[in-house]
Amino acid sequence: MTALSERTTAPARSARSSSSVRARVLAYVGLTKPRIIELLLITTVPAMMLADRGWPSWTLLLSTLVGGTLAAGAANVFNCWFDRDIDRLMKRTERRPLVTGEVSPTGALVFGSVLTVAAIVLLALTTTPLAAALAAGAIFYYSVLYTMVFKRRTRRNTELGGVPGAAPVLIGWAAVTGSLDWPAVVFFGVVFCWQMPHFWALAIRFKDDYARAEVPMLPVVASELSVARQTVVWTWLTVAVSLALWPVADDYGIAWIYTVSAAGLGAWLLVEAHKLLRRVKQGAETKPMQLFHISISYMALLSAAIVVDVLV
């Protein structure tokens, strides 16, 4: 090989190596389900602001968000590791890194373990022991109880799995105060109840996927009418609990801005849930993703209303 050809192939090899490293990093990041983490963290900031009755220190805020990101990422990695057998059967998940072979099962376990340790240590050193303990409990609950037990064995997996999904509220509050109080419990209840209409809408859309993988999500094992009715019930519960935050947290800065917002946003969510029920009764196209996307906007805007009310 001539000197000229060596000089021209060296950059090519370097580019391929760089591309390979980038792909590997993105594969590991993909295991953490970043889009789900973003949604979880939306509820952490307002919980911290409520607890602090204003802006907590930037150091505490960033430490809690990073620790929460690592904890949620760890739980999702373990979920991907255990579910790799059914993920390959569902179109929605067939491109996940463990299914495609971009990440090995051992590599995923090591990665999840590292994230777990990093999350707990970071939260313990920079926030409070209670916040670290709650994060550890959430990782265990989602990775073991939900993923390995509830998800494949009961139609009530979404309700039972709602605890870790709402845990960021408690972690955020505990990071500020080192304890828990009723406003944190009520806001936790809002996020918990909200998960049923949110995830059932998604499960309706991908019912065939879950059926193929023999996962007893409610839309797989119950009639569309039953699912729609339960969705409406849980939506009403979500709105009711959200309105209960005002009397419980009035000493923490919750007043008319949040209350009016909660009522208006709740009405919006209820209208969409009832639309789903009406379409099912009429035998029309259910369009569940409309409710799914509106539910995301609902939670984001409700969290923003808490932030604004506390600041004002």
Please state, in angstroms and rounded to a whole number, the distance separating the CA atoms of residues 93 and 83: 10
What is the per-residue pLDDT for 35? 84
> Looking at residues 190-203, what average pLDDT do you find?
97
What is the per-residue pLDDT for 39? 79
Nearest to 258 by CA among 208, 196, 172, 187: 187
Contact 115, 143 (CB under 8 A): no
Architecture of the domain delimited by 181-312:
Up-down Bundle (1.20)
pLDDT in tens, 207-221: 999 999 999 999 999
What is the per-residue pLDDT for 252? 87
Residue 231 reports pLDDT greater than 80 = yes
Q: CATH 1.10.357.140 residue ranges in the chain?
A: 22-179
Q: How high does pLDDT run on average in the chain?
A: 92
pLDDT in tens, 232-287: 999 999 999 999 999 999 888 899 999 999 999 999 999 999 999 999 999 998 89
Please state, in angstroms and rounded to a whole number, the distance separating the CA atoms of residues 170 and 166: 8
What is the per-residue pLDDT for 17? 54
Is 22-179 assigned to CATH 1.10.357.140?
Answer: yes
Write the burial class of residue 57 (CB in 10 Å: 0-12 exposed, 13-18 middle, 19+ buried).
Answer: exposed
Q: CATH 1.20.120 residue ranges in the chain?
A: 181-312
Residue 166 reports pLDDT greater than 60 = yes
